[in-house]
Homo-oligomer: A and B are copies of this chain.
Amino acid sequence: MEATAPAPEVICFETHPDRYKHLKIEVDGPVARILIDIQENEGLRPGYALKLNSYDLSVDIELADAVQRLRFEHPEVGAVIVTSGQEGVFSSGANIFMLGASTHAHKVNFCKFTNETRVSIEDATANSGQVYIAALNGVASGGGYELPQACEEIYLVDDRRSAVSLPEIPYLGVLPGTGGLTRLVDKRHVRRDIADVFVTLAEGVKGKRAVQWGLVDNVFPTSKFKESVEARALEVANGGKPDRKGVQLEALKPTEGEDRLDYQHVSMEISEDGRTATLQITVPDDVPQMPVTASDLGSAWFPLRAFRELDDALLRLRLNYPLVGLILFKTRGNAASMVAFDEQLDQHADDWFVNEVRLFIKRTLKRVDYMAKSMFAIVDEGSCFVGTLYELVLAADRSFMLEEDGVTFQMTNMNQGAYPMGNGLSRMQTRFVWDQEMANELAANRDQIDADEANDLGLITVAADDIDWDDEVRLAIEERVSLSPDSLTGMEASIRFGGPETLETKIFGRLTAWQNWIFQRPNAVGPKGALSLYGRPESPEFDFNRT
């Protein structure tokens, strides 16, 4: 029953507006526009046509890039309008034929990336002063209405035919699973019984009723739609920030070897059996002076460059290396340099560029938290888990530290809440979720901490001397990769998120887990399931037993 349409051998996440196939960015002073105009035959794989502005991962990769570049390259922008370049349709969401032909793993990873991009849109609105406005100049259905929900404001054209809808349940037997259900209630404040009606109404809701139900913020007639939205965007942008000079994001262009990738600061090496990946970050010796205008540091600045590389490696690991079940985090390099980089990140937090880099690191570390792979941090000889990089030790499922002179790690101000997890807490606060005072005290420690002390303080999992070290680490790796990968995914998704839940963790937890369950059910993906039969003449046949 598992679909097997071949994915391209390697999915690449780097792109550039010059190479976009589906999106167009227009920047007009304080207001930018992202135009969605999806090319039917330019999907990631053959076998489906991206009709009616429906999307696949190739579109989402461009969208993630667009959101990112607007933040770094166009910091003068204060409002971003997301709208369609096609007549009568904003977007009809994820392409159903693509979903129907995808493996379970591809569906799950596609949805996760989509969710991360939507959260990044909310992050841009909340923390970068780029307010996203969805201008629905046509029908918005399924994911085509979930994307607008990630925007701060939603406007719909009132032309008697353009509706918003979440028809996944009636048409496909799956959930509006990229945030739709959660945001309806928790963000848009649609009453739960009205939400219940809405998500079973295949044809959706249009005009004034869409406003009454809270599905959109306002409607404008066709003749006034564009000008009304533009006027609102100008108002929201409030002049933008014309004094900010953008930073071009240079291409990463890693060297691709057999079973390894080498970026400038990050390397990825796949083990011989293909089950373990080592991600190593090396901190350079030289730290540039902070220029008068911080953005003159450019995208070569180590904290930005290294985390862009890490981000790219994580995404490749998810989509291109499904067999990898365990990531080993290692670091090398100059600890004093890392302290200096963190001081720059800390002391210039009110500079827009430094803030943007901090936000980028935050998002990359969240990408780490959401990996459906086990993670061990290896604090060994020559390692450099300092400050920002120590977050990887806290993010890992386990950490191993060598008991040896000179092997230490060190925290900085950047471990005190600069990079909150999806649950709103720092990784240290999540580690000791029952005692926030202790967590905050521990994060305030500025000593170079060796294995013994780290063990006593509860800051690592295992300390071993050099006689036991190799065996200890080797056995832990062997044991980990022998276990059922599904149970590990479910376990990690549970215990990585102690404490409070937020809109975001509800999407990656409760909603995603239910969707993944449904993505396994015959009523959706079986030969007579609704997702499998979509667009065919046969009607789905359900097993009506409730579970």
Q: In the bound complex, do residue B495 and residue A514 qualify as a contact, i.e. CB atoms below 8 Å apart?
A: no
Which residues A183-203 have CB closer than 8 A to chain B?
A: 184-186, 189, 191-197, 199-200
Say if the beta carbon of A322 comes within 8 Å of chain B.
yes
Given A494-B514, A501-B500, A547:B196 Cβ within 8 A: no
Given A169-B491, A196-B397, A547:B275 Cβ within 8 A: no
Name 19 interchain pairs, CB-CB below 8 A, sorted by A.
A173-B483, A174-B484, A174-B487, A175-B490, A181-B491, A185-B495, A185-B498, A186-B499, A193-B399, A196-B461, A197-B398, A322-B547, A372-B546, A481-B544, A484-B523, A486-B521, A486-B523, A497-B510, A513-B516
Distance of A398 Cα from B509 Cα, bound (Å)? 25
Distance of A535 Cα from B435 Cα, bound (Å)? 42
Given A175-B491, A458-B191, A547:B509 Cβ within 8 A: no
Residues of B contacting A524 in the complex (Cβ-Cβ under 8 angstroms): 484, 486-487
Contact with B along A504-547 (1 / 0, CB 8 A): 00100111011111101101100000100000000010111111
Q: Which of B488, B497, B498, B514 contacts A513 (CB 8 A)?
A: B514
Which A residues contact B (CB, under 8 angstroms)? 104-105, 108-109, 168-170, 172-175, 181-182, 184-186, 189, 191-197, 199-200, 275, 322-325, 372-373, 396-399, 430-435, 458, 461, 479-481, 483-501, 506, 509-511, 513-518, 520-521, 523-524, 530, 540, 542-547
In the complex, residue of chain B having the shortest beta-carbon distance to the beta carbon of A196: B397
Q: Which of B189, B199, B484 contacts A491 (CB 8 A)?
A: B199
Residues of B contacting A195 in the complex (Cβ-Cβ under 8 angstroms): 495
Given A104-B547, A323-B545, A431:B191 Cβ within 8 A: yes
In the complex, residue of chain B having the shortest beta-carbon distance to the beta carbon of A530: B484
Distance of A18 Cα from B396 Cα, bound (Å)? 52
Q: Which of A194, A516, A547 has the most CB of B within 10 A?
A: A547
Distance of A274 Cα from B482 Cα, bound (Å)? 46
Distance of A192 from chain B, by nearest CB (Å): 5
Q: Which of B108, B481, B523, B546 contacts A324 (CB 8 A)?
A: B546
Given A484-B523, A517-B513, A184:B495 Cβ within 8 A: yes
Distance of A431 Cα from B11 Cα, bound (Å)? 43
Distance of A489 Cα from B518 Cα, bound (Å)? 9
Q: In the bound complex, do residue B325 and residue A546 qualify as a contact, i.e. CB atoms below 8 Å apart?
A: yes
Residues of B contacting A544 in the complex (Cβ-Cβ under 8 angstroms): 275, 323, 325, 481, 485
Residues of B contacting A197 in the complex (Cβ-Cβ under 8 angstroms): 398, 461
Residues of B contacting A501 in the complex (Cβ-Cβ under 8 angstroms): 500-501, 506, 510
Known: A484-B540, A501-B506. 19 other contacts (CB 8 A): A104-B547, A105-B546, A173-B484, A173-B487, A181-B495, A182-B494, A184-B495, A191-B431, A192-B431, A197-B398, A322-B546, A485-B523, A485-B542, A485-B544, A486-B524, A489-B546, A490-B518, A506-B509, A520-B521
